[in-house]
Chains A and B, each alone.
Chain A
Amino acid sequence: NAGVTQTPKFRVLKTGQSMTLLCAQDMNHEYMYWYRQDPGMGLRLIHYSVGEGTTAKGEVPDGYNVSRLKKQNFLLGLESAAPSQTSVYFCASSRLLMLQFFGPGTRLTVL
């Protein structure tokens, strides 16, 4: 089992460019999450999904969109990247109220 994988691992964007981060899990988990981690801020929830075809906003959703067309995949999109979105992005998955399994992270820099 690969667990939770994220692509890409690193990316540099210019302001205004768009990109999509892909998260995939092979544990048949219902719940999937996107977090961002910034120095001194801890992990913050961007969006999450409680099942295929459903998504919901987290703590810091502005500037991001998500889709969960398949149970195993959760996509995070940035339509027009801004320097404030420079961060490390983590995806996680879990069953209801169970341990969350994290991906290795994507380091994004927006110039």
Chain B
Amino acid sequence: KNEVEQSPQNLTAQEGEFITINCSYSVGISALHWLQQHPGGGIVSLFMLSSGKKKHGRLIATINIQEKHSSLHITASHPRDSAVYICAVYVGLQGAQKLVFGQGTRLTINP
């Protein structure tokens, strides 16, 4: 079983819909990352959070440390949001933390 599990693996929606991508992890973590990988392959870090909620534009990330679960929400989705969204967790001892990645969720937003 992977240490980081994402669901769904694939998601197709219509423009304007509210999107939720889930991430569950089974290890103790220092922080959690959400990343976006564009169709061209480039990877952009969206959020890093260790508690509560963060918001950037139409993107909202939440984390529940007790339940070992995080969600990424996209409001008013747009075709340009089509990408692979990757959850990753920082694990390890202080000074040697490393990211462990989920498999990614492929999101397609149709106009």
Contacts and interface: CB of A to CB of B under 8 A. Distances in A.
Interface of B: 30-31, 33, 35, 41-45, 47-48, 86, 88, 90, 95-104
Contacts of B43: 90, 92, 102, 105
Interface in A40-62: 40-45, 48, 50, 56, 58
A33 B86 CA distance: 17
Nearest to A51: B95
A97 B103 contact: no
Given A42-B86, A43-B86, A50-B95, A99 B103 contact: no
Contacts, number: 51
A8 to B, nearest CB: 15
Contacts of B100: 45
A42 B41 contact: no
Secondary structure call for the B interface: strand
18 contacts: A33-B98, A40-B103, A42-B86, A43-B101, A44-B101, A45-B100, A56-B96, A90-B43, A97-B31, A99-B45, A100-B33, A100-B45, A102-B35, A102-B43, A102-B44, A104-B41, A104-B42, A105-B43
Given A43-B86, A50-B96, A56-B96, A99 B101 contact: no
Contact of B98 (A41, A42, A45, A98): A45
Interface of A: 33, 40-45, 48, 50, 56, 58, 88, 90, 92, 96-102, 104-105
A45 B41 contact: no
Instruction: List 7 tightest A-B contacts by C-beta distance, closest first.
Output: A102-B43, A99-B45, A43-B101, A42-B101, A42-B103, A99-B48, A105-B41
